[in-house]
Structure 1
Amino acid sequence: MDLDMAQVRAFVRAAEELHFGRAAGTLGLSQQALSKRIARLESLLGTALFQRGGGAVGLTEAGRRFLGPARQALASAESAIAAAVGPDRPLRLDVWGHLYAPMRTLAHVAEQAGELTPGHGRDLPSVTAALLRGDTDAAFGRVHPPLHAGLTHRLVRLEPVDAVLGADHPLASEPALRPDQLGGSVLWAPGALDRLDFLHRFAHRFGIPTTATTLNLGLAHFLAEVVEDPRRFSLLPADVPLPDVPGLRSVPLVDPTPLYAWSLLWRTGSGHPGLKTLTTAFAAQAGRSRWLEYDPARDWLPEPPGNPTPDKPGRAGPPVTRL
């Protein structure tokens, strides 16, 4: 009897989620495709692995017995692939949040991080699915809970965020702004707010009732749209180099200063040696550049109070204050 690892992976993910739709999403599959893989596995084994009915999914006794060895089989398959490829394979690193230019931060550590093969994920859910499938080794961008239990997260950088607006905006001449002063403006977003966690939480926290969205066609096009309407504003990390858009203004935000949290994300238990090299390089750069300074009396992070601390599987919380 030869096991198909794609079918085994579909079973393990469905057993962890106990929800075929969520499991399919983490693997980048349709629910129908995942169900077919599990059905073929059950047919091969000659026994049902899941109890289905009434909208609920549960493991049968055979499914419970199979789960542990199935996880071991997947781990062994990944180890076999790694052994065949060799220890010198470059670390595959996906990034997302492209409008906020994540490669700026990676550029600071590129020379110390070993050999990297960068990729470009669409958003956090798509990159999460790639990590869980083993299509990429690590990822870099903004992480926000809830995360899959099979992933580990490490906070890398906290970056102050500025308001960007046009010269005709009523607040454009201010040397600095409190976030709540923007309550009468329109928050311009490069996509639906339910996919843009940081902007969504900012609008809710600081009372920005009016938002509008557009297509993400690149930073220059996005900022040109901001400038077109004197009511609009958006947010960008302060270190993002601004394109040459006539009439564009960038104004620091204070009392509090919003912080955009950049993080590294990888599959728990991954043994790629490049991960340690990369995390060490990030930690050293964070110390030199004071990337992890956070004062709750001065700064704002969108993570909810009581969120677990970083650097544990599936966690993403505020850092320890370093002043």
Structure 2
Amino acid sequence: MSELEHHVRALWTLFEPIHAVTYFSPEAREAFADIGLTRYWDGYFAGRAAPLGAVTAAPVVAIFSGFAPFLVERVLPAVWSTVTVDRVLDARSRGAATTLRNLVPDERSVAEAADVLAEIAARVDTIGRPLAAANSALTVEADPYRRLWQAAATLREHRGDGHVMALVEGGIAGISTIVLRSAVDIDATSVRKARGWTEQEWAVEVEELMTRGLLTGQGEISENGRVAVERAENMTNQLAVGPWRGLNDAEIARIARTLAPIARVCQTVFPFPNPIGMPRPWDPNLDPNASAVPVSPRAS
């Protein structure tokens, strides 16, 4: 991994927590409930997919990767008969902004972070990246809290689109990914339920991964499995570099120091370890070279 790739991975640990408040904060759930999306997964799938338009379940299953089709099909496309895309987009932005405002009352620091991150988000490469493309096409809002969250969302989905590409290339996309990750750093029972897979579907995938030599006979990750996960993560890191290319070390450090205080506060909203496999934020002041940021998923 190049130095730039590692720093971009470290920066991901700073903008991912800002984006992820939309999945964990009560303010975000309340904003969706206000428009009639009272069930958690209604808000999740409608909110995350809304930039794509009123899509059906099939493309969301494909683009998001890892979710059982049944879980998505319970929400889409039925939700679009009760609420419009525009209302969902406003609710997700409003809920995230309210969360950030409560966590970080200092609007000046948020405005600075929003300006910095929005400039990077405007540079994302979107070919083959549907979620990044859809998010980057949204109108940039004046409110700094909304603008910061949207920039973080665009960059997060840019990395996520690249991650799915890497998983597909490695033959471990979909349920394979989460079964393998549950053998590394995510609790198997909670992630299985969170992604909507039945015990039987999970067991079948475990057997398949054993047959492929990616899990041992005891269901632990094998050396080949670890290599597959790390290879996909390395490719993800490579594919995430685009919008950051051309920045020097001083510019990266400045961006990191701007985002880090906000990321540290945002991390209080969700648990560690968590079902999305997010590591703790990089501290660029204590660790300027990001030496403590893991280069791939690892046991906590």
TM-score by length of 2: 0.27
Structure having the larger proportion of residues in strand: 1
* More RCO (CA 8 Å, sep 6+): 2
Larger Rg: 1
TM-score by length of 1: 0.26
Structure having the larger proportion of residues in helix: 2
